[in-house]
Structure 1
Amino acid sequence: MAPTRETIKGPVRDQVAANVRARRERLRLSLADVAALLTQLGHPMGRHAVLRIETGARAASVDDLVALALALDCSPLALLLPSEDPGEPVKITSRAALEYADAWHWARGKGTSRPKILTERKG
């Protein structure tokens, strides 16, 4: 059986989950508050759906990401990438990464850095 959108969990999905939760908590919004804002924006999503995105149990679609960014008063990029330098390359896929500053430049269309392909170590 081929993996589905719900079963493929990559590093960006994990980053979106962490960033949505952190941003919501920073704004002191409840899950119900975010769900209400999303409904006002024309993108109805229940609080349980928001929770599933925050826990990584649900992948955020592109439309979800844009609506969440509007509801959380930030750029969609702020949900896609770490807000602070993690001290290690930022994974863009499970096997491609960029240094923190290069990841932000790349995401903004200003960088020419190609992601470094990571190889798995045989242990």
Structure 2
Amino acid sequence: MENERVRGNPAGITNMHVATNIRAARQSIGMDLRTMSVKLTEVGRKISPSGISKIENGDRRVDVDDLTAIAYLLRTTPAALLTPPSDGVEVTGVSSRFLPEEIQAWVAGRVKLTPDDLLRYWKEERFNASSYVKRFEDALAQYDQGQLGLTPREVYEERLATQRARLELATGRLVQLDPLAIPNLD
């Protein structure tokens, strides 16, 4: 039996997120591959235009030094380049049991994917949504009393509905994470 030597791990889904995000960021500022290559060389990260194309197609990996230089040149952040699409929850090496929002917040450095920190995150999100619900209910009450503002009533009604849905999501997620958390919220 012959032993095959395997070098490194194959590129994963996170590599594809990075590839897609780099291309989108580059195109959004109107930078072509040659210009990006020249600018990368100027900052000490020599990558040919074909190398950048391979990165954007997912055929070449990006090391962390390249990632930071690319993020800087593209006027974004390394976290933004690592972030999966808003509906994506899959990233390399991370359990798929997390919500897309939790993955997005984790990549952005706003939450750790631990039970305690997820509870903290969702309690904060629930508090914020609850505060906005109160604010928009108060604004609508002012409309009912004839105190019209510059913002149309429909805008406040839409914002109220959005924040009520957010409050419901946060409450539901808290119950999933810790069924005993809800009595301690109010």
Identify the TM-score tier after normalising by the shorter chain.
0.7 to 0.9
Please list every run of 5 or more consecutive structure 2 residues that lacks an aligned counterpart in the other structure. 115-186
Higher relative contact order (CA 8 A, sep 6+): 1
Q: Which has the higher strand share?
A: 1
Following the alignment from structure 1 to structure 2, what is the Cα–Cα distance between the partners of residues 50 and 4?
A: 22
Report the equivalent of 1:39. 41
Residues 94 and 107 of structure 1: is their aligned pair in 2 closer, same or farther, counting only changes over 3 Å? closer
Describe the superposition over 1:16-59 as per-residue Cα deviations: whole angstroms up to 9, x where unpaired: 01001111111111100110111121211111111110001101
Which amino acid in structure 2 is aligned with residue 21 of structure 1? R
Alignment check: 8 A CA contact 2:19 2:56 kept: yes
Q: 1:63-78 alignment to 2 at 5 Å?
A: 63-78=65-80
Residues 95 and 107 of structure 1: is their aligned pair in 2 closer, same or farther, counting only changes over 3 Å? closer
Q: Which has the higher helix share?
A: 2
**Larger-gyration structure (1/2):** 2
Alignment check: 8 A CA contact 2:71 2:78 kept: yes
Q: Aligned Cα RMSD in Å?
A: 1.9
Report the equivalent of 2:7. 4
Please list every run of 5 or more consecutive structure 1 residues that lacks an aligned counterpart in the other structure. 115-123
TM-score, scaled to structure 1: 0.78
Which amino acid in structure 2 is aligned with residue 76 of structure 1? P
TM-score, scaled to structure 2: 0.53
3-state SS of paired residue (1:93): coil
Report the equivalent of 2:124. none
Report the equivalent of 2:179. none
Describe the superposition over 1:41-95 as per-residue Cα deviations: whole angstroms up to 9, x where unpaired: 121111111111000110101111111101111000111013x522x5x212266
